[in-house]
């Protein structure tokens, strides 16, 4: 079993390294940006350094192998109003099945207010309105392969739409975590997110009427073929440790190194202090060393309270500095049952 464990770690590392090396910097050239919106005030409050911390339902986003640490049933909802009137909602549910692993599902939705249709001839608007949005539907499975090694994966359906056009794609995420019993507990983890198909917009808005024939007298319909774009591939490698476990107090620190396929590499770092597993305080820094970033300091807190023996309610909040863009406040509600 140990040989299998080491072979799996090596295989995942080789796969991720090969993909990462093959990428070139292509800033702003990937589709489905909804896949890059961070999920969960707990992780965001820790600066996004959550790959090796992942032990709750938001692990579906950060490291699908982390959901193996869920030992009950868990549900989660996160609503965020971002900059530029962008709204993001994420909901998930997961259940631990003894002897099988953890099985879950999630939905991520991006939405915006309606906007005026403008043309060169009518820059003030034609009187029509259009919508922009995206939806991601996914399922998650993870389990412990050994006492200290987890692996998990997501399968995702992705759809983006703008007015009368849309694009569809499919992606997978793979994540692992290995626990070492030093420094109370040291965790090493890696994940690769959004490995999948290219996306291409199609629909009636790319149909044009053009002149053809002798002298250009005949009018015919023509469909433009738009480019296909990759998904925003992300490779994360993280290390986390519980540096203090003294009675009711616990202090967890974490660092992530992130390699995207459409921008420069960066580092996330953060910490979480908990008292009696009820009150949580968090701080971190997001996108350190990323070129032209507007991200920065993150802060957060949470209250996790067991209202009856089998039901725990989790209320979490996080703040993130976005520089010249408006600051963002994240709220979520979770239930363990």
Q: Quote the domain boundaries for residue 173.
A: 2-201+227-336
Structural contact between residues 169 and 146, judged by C-beta atoms closer than 8 angstroms = no
The torsion angles phi and psi of 125, rounded to 5 degrees, stand at 120, 145
* Number of domains composing the chain: 1
pTM value is: 0.85
pLDDT score of 220 = 64
Nearest to 16 by CA among 231, 232, 234: 234
pLDDT score of 218 = 62
Nearest to 55 by CA among 238, 276, 228, 221: 238
Give the residue-averaged pLDDT of 95-101: 93
pLDDT score of 6 = 47
284 within domain boundaries:
yes
CATH number at residue 36: 2.40.160.60
Q: With 80 as the cut, is the pLDDT of residue 332 above it? A: yes
Give the model's confidence band at 293: pLDDT under 50 very low, under 70 low, under 90 confident, else very high.
confident
209 within domain boundaries:
no
Nearest to 93 by CA among 138, 52, 131: 138
Give the residue-averaged pLDDT of 136-160: 97
Give the residue-averaged pLDDT of 94-105: 95
What CA–CA distance (Å, rounded) separates 32 from 161?
10
300 within domain boundaries:
yes
Does the CA dihedral 158-142-284-81 come out positive or negative? Answer: positive
pLDDT score of 193 = 97
Mean pLDDT over all residues of the chain?
88
206 within domain boundaries:
no
Give the model's confidence band at 308: pLDDT under 50 very low, under 70 low, under 90 confident, else very high.
confident
Nearest to 56 by CA among 23, 89, 22, 102: 102
Q: What is the pLDDT of residues 31-56, one digit of tens each?
A: 999 999 999 999 999 999 999 999 99
Q: Helix and strand tally (H, E) in the chain?
A: 3, 19
216 within domain boundaries:
no
Give the residue-averaged pLDDT of 324-331: 90
What CA–CA distance (Å, rounded) separates 118 from 126?
6
Q: With 50 as the cut, is the pLDDT of residue 4 above it? A: no
28 within domain boundaries:
yes
The helix/strand/coil state of 23 is coil
What CA–CA distance (Å, rounded) separates 134 from 161?
6
What CA–CA distance (Å, rounded) separates 224 from 205?
9
Q: With 50 as the cut, is the pLDDT of residue 250 above it? A: yes
% of the chain residues with pLDDT over 90: 64
The helix/strand/coil state of 129 is strand
pLDDT score of 203 = 84
pLDDT score of 329 = 95
What is the β-pairing status of strands 297-308 and 311-320? antiparallel
pLDDT score of 85 = 85
Q: What is the pLDDT of residues 255-291, one digit of tens each?
A: 999 999 988 999 999 999 999 999 999 999 999 998 8
Q: What is the pLDDT of residues 109-138, one digit of tens each?
A: 999 988 888 888 888 888 888 889 999 999
The torsion angles phi and psi of 259, rounded to 5 degrees, stand at -120, 105
Give the model's confidence band at 298: pLDDT under 50 very low, under 70 low, under 90 confident, else very high.
very high
Give the residue-averaged pLDDT of 180-195: 92
Q: With 60 as the cut, is the pLDDT of residue 11 above it? A: no
pLDDT score of 277 = 92
217 within domain boundaries:
no
Rg over alpha carbons for the chain, rounded to the nearest Å, is 22
Q: With 90 as the cut, is the pLDDT of residue 207 above it? A: no
pLDDT score of 211 = 58
Q: Is 256 exposed, middle or buried (0-12, 13-18, 19+ CB in 10 A)?
A: buried
Q: Is 332 exposed, middle or buried (0-12, 13-18, 19+ CB in 10 A)?
A: buried
63 within domain boundaries:
yes
Strands (E), 181-261: 186-196, 202-203, 207-212, 218-223, 234-246, 249-260
Top pLDDT among 165 and 314 is at 314
């Amino acid at each position: 079993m140990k040989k299998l464990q080491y072979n799996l770690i090596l295989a995942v590392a080789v796969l991720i390294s090969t993909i990462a090396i093959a990428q070139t910097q292509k800033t702003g050239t990937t589709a489905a940006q909804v896949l890059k919106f961070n999920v969960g005030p707990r992780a965001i409050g820790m600066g996004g350094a959550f790959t090796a911390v992942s032990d709750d339902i938001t692990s579906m986003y950060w490291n699908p192998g982390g959901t193996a640490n869920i030992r009950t049933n868990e549900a989660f909802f996160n609503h965020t109003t971002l900059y530029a009137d962008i709204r993001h909602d994420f909901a998930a549910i997961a259940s631990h099945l003894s002897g099988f692993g953890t099985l879950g599902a999630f939905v991520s939705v991006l939405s915006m207010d309606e906007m005026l249709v403008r043309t060169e001839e009518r820059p003030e608007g034609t009187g029509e309105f259009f919508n922009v949005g995206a939806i991601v539907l996914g399922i998650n499975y993870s389990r412990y392969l050994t006492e200290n090694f987890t692996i998990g994966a997501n399968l995702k359906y992705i759809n983006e739409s703008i007015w009368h056009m849309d694009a569809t794609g499919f992606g997978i995420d793979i994540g692992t975590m290995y626990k070492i019993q030093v420094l109370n507990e040291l965790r090493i983890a890696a994940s690769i997110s959004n490995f999948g198909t290219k996306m291409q917009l199609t629909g009636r808005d790319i149909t044009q009427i053009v002149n053809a024939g002798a002298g250009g007298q005949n009018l015919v319909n023509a469909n433009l073929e738009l480019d296909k774009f990759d998904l925003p591939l992300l490779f994360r490698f993280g290390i986390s440790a519980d540096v203090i476990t003294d009675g009711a107090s616990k202090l967890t620190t974490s660092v992530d190194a992130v390699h995207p396929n459409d921008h420069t590499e960066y580092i996330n770092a953060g910490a979480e202090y908990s008292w009696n597993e009820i009150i949580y305080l968090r701080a971190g820094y997001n996108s350190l060393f990323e070129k032209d970033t507007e991200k920065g300091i993150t802060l957060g807190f949470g209250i996790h309270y067991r209202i009856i023996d089998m039901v725990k309610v989790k209320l979490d909040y996080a703040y993130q500095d976005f520089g010249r863009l408006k600051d963002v406040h994240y709220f979520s509600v979770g239930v363990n049952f």
